[in-house]
Amino acid sequence: MEKYQKLTGIAAPMPLINIDTDMIIPKVFLKTIKRSGLGVNLFAEMRYNDDGSEKDDFVLNQPAYRDAEIIVAGDNFGCGSSREHAPWAIKDFGVRCVVSTGFADIFFSNCFKNGILPIVLPKEQVDLLMKDAEKGANARMTVDLEAQEITTSDGEVIAFDVDAFKKHCLLEGLDDISLTLAKADAIQSFEQQAQQSRPWV
């Protein structure tokens, strides 16, 4: 995975609450056996008409937000299905950071595996960032993972929390499987002990 760099970009406001992974990537696009190329299908049912033309009122179709790299979202973003196609589509579109008051557990975890930083902030701060995002393309936010800070287009700085291990993996672009395989001895010794204590498993 690529190392997560400091990001300065356009933020798209999506205040709707409970945006689920069926909205993020509808099931018709889950038939792929690849990880790539899903960006064009991101939010497909909200973004396109039945004939494939764009819906003008959808935020990512508006000129100001076509190149958004950040999404500021309503509560409980990413709820529903575990489909990793959701973060794959978000990443493929070009978004590398999503800010909300909360994320569904599986989606949250999936983001980190794909170089996307999900940031949880209190409602007042998400509201403030939503307002900033609504200013359009000239208003660019900066997300600095290293410093754990978001800087609004007005220069206001908002600090955020992130799990130290997950932060380390994002910044260094680390692959989880290699990290875990380095602990093969611990896994083997657990298996030997489990074979004794729970042989029926």
Partner 1 sequence: MSPTTLYDKIWDAHVADQTEDGTCLLYIDRHLVHEVTSPQAFEGLRMAGRKVHAPDKTIAVPDHNVPTTPDRVNGIENEEGRIQVAALDKNARDFGVHYYPMNDVRQGIVHIVGPEQGWTLPGMTVVCGDSHTATHGAFGALAHGIGTSEVEHVLATQTLIQKKSKNMKVEITGKLQPGVTAKDITLAVIGETGTAGGTGYVIEYCGEAIRDLSMEGRMTVCNMAIEGGARAGLIAPDQTTYDYVMGRPHAPKGAQWDAALTWWKTLFTDENAVFDKVVTLRGEDIAPVVTWGTSPEDVLPITATVPFATDFEGGKVDAAARSLAYMGLESGTKLTDIKIDTVFIGSCTNGRIEDLRAVAGVVKGKKIKEGMRALIVPGSGLVRAQAEEEGLAEIFLDAGFEWRMAGCSMCLAMNPDQLEAGERCAATSNRNFEGRQGRGGRTHLVSPVMAAAAALTGHLTDIRDFL
How deeply is 164 buried, as exposed, middle or buried, from its count of CB atoms within 10 A (0-12, 13-18, 19+)? Answer: exposed
5, 18, 62, 153: residue in contact with partner 1 (rule CB under 8 A):
18
Positions 114 through 143 that interact with partner 1 (CB under 8 A): 114
- State how far the Cα of 164 lies from the Cα of 98, in Å rounded to an integer: 18
- The amino acid occupying position 149 is E
- State how far the Cα of 159 lies from the Cα of 161, in Å rounded to an integer: 7
- State how far the Cα of 129 lies from the Cα of 9, in Å rounded to an integer: 13
- State how far the Cα of 150 lies from the Cα of 198, in Å rounded to an integer: 48
Which one of 2-10, 30-38, 59-67, 150-158 is the stretch in contact with partner 1 (CB under 8 A)?
30-38
Kindly list the distances between the CA atom of residue 16 and the CA atoms of 9, 20, 23, 78, in Å, as whole numbers in the listed order: 21, 10, 11, 12
- In angstroms, what is the minimal distance from the CB of 121 to partner 1? 15
- 93 within 8 A of 39, measured Cβ to Cβ: yes
- Taking CB under 8 A as the rule, does residue 161 contact partner 1? no
Rounded to the nearest 5 degrees, what angle is found at the Cα of 199, between the Cα atoms of 195 and 201? 100
- Taking CB under 8 A as the rule, does residue 79 contact partner 1? yes
Nearer to partner 1, 91 or 132 (CB): 91
81, 91, 98, 133: residue in contact with partner 1 (rule CB under 8 A):
81
- In angstroms, what is the minimal distance from the CB of 159 to partner 1? 19
- In angstroms, what is the minimal distance from the CB of 10 to partner 1? 23
54, 161, 163, 172: residue in contact with partner 1 (rule CB under 8 A):
163
Instruction: Provide the binding-site residues for partner 1, judged by CB under 8 A.
Output: 15-18, 20, 22-23, 26-28, 30-35, 45, 50, 74-76, 79-84, 87, 102-106, 109-110, 113-114, 163-165, 176-177, 179-181, 183-184, 186-187, 189-191, 194, 197-201
